[in-house]
Structure 1
Amino acid sequence: MKIRVYYEDTDVGGIVYYANYLKFCERVRSELFFQKGMSPHNGDEFFVVKHVEAKYIKPAIFGDDLDVTCKLIDRKFASITMYQEVLRDNEVLFTGKFKLAFLKNFKPSRIPEDLINVFL
């Protein structure tokens, strides 16, 4: 998914603020649902981030056009692990590994197959 870096995404030096890479990744995961006419939050069923591993490689700056990727790399009963990259002109700027837990009524629950298919 394409993301443009706006002024609001940057610090005083025009560099993307570190936490915004996490927001970019979250936006892409949500967009995968929206593109299939679904919502990432469905009443009492939703994913939450349980664990993040982030690697900041090079900075993105104000005005950059970025590509953010998302790939399912592991699946368990009530969790999935996603690998995401933020790229500028095919150069990797950030990588993240996100473990998402699926909750129903705020308790871990089996992930329905239609939700798994969103990430395939």
Structure 2
Amino acid sequence: MKIRVYYEDTDCGGVVYHSNYLNFCERARSELFFQKGLSPHKSDEFFVVKSLEADYKSPAVFGDELFVKTTLLERKSASLVLHQEIKKDEKVLFSMRVKVAYLKNAKPSKIPSEMFEVFKND
């Protein structure tokens, strides 16, 4: 998914503020669902981030066009482990490993099969 860095995404030096990389990744995960005509949220069913490990490699700045790639690493009945990278051209600026759990009525639940299809390939 392509992302343009806007002024609101940056700190006073014009560099993307660290937490916005997480927002970009979240947006990219949601967009995967929208592209398949699905929603990542159904009234009482949704994914939540359980844990993540982030690696900031190089800064993005105001005006940059970035690309977020999402890859499924591990699939369990009620959780997924994903790898997400943010690149500018071919250079990796940020990467993270994120575990998301699927909840139904606020309890871990089996992920519906159509939800797995969303993460096959970005």
Give the drift of 1:42.
0.6
SS at match of 2:14: coil
Mapping of 1:1-120 within 5 angstroms?
Answer: 1-120=1-120
Question: What code does the residue aligned with 2:55 have?
Answer: K
TM-score, normalised with respect to structure 1 = 0.99
Cα distance in 2 for partners of 1:101, 1:42 equals 14
What is the CA–CA distance in structure 2 between the aligned matches of 1:102 and 1:36, rounded to whole Å?
A: 18
**1:49 aligns to what SS in structure 2?**
strand
Moved over 4 A (4+): none
Gaps of 5+ in 2: none
Residue by residue over 1:62-98, the C-alpha shift from the partner in whole angstroms, topping out at 9 and shown as x without a partner, is 0000011001000112100110000001100000111
Q: TM-score, normalised by structure 2?
A: 0.97
CA distance in 1, matches of 2:100, 2:15: 28
Structure 1 counterpart SS, 2:28: helix
Secondary structure at 1:31 match in 2: helix
Matched residue pairs, number?
A: 120
Question: Which letter maps to 1:118?
Answer: V
Over residues 13-65 of structure 1, what are the superposed CA-to-partner deviations in whole Å (9 max), with x where a residue is unaligned? 00000000000000000000001111110111100000010000000000000
Structure 1 letter corresponding to 2:32: L
Q: Which segments of 5 or more consecutive residues in structure 1 lack a partner in the other structure?
A: none
Pairwise CA RMSD: 0.5
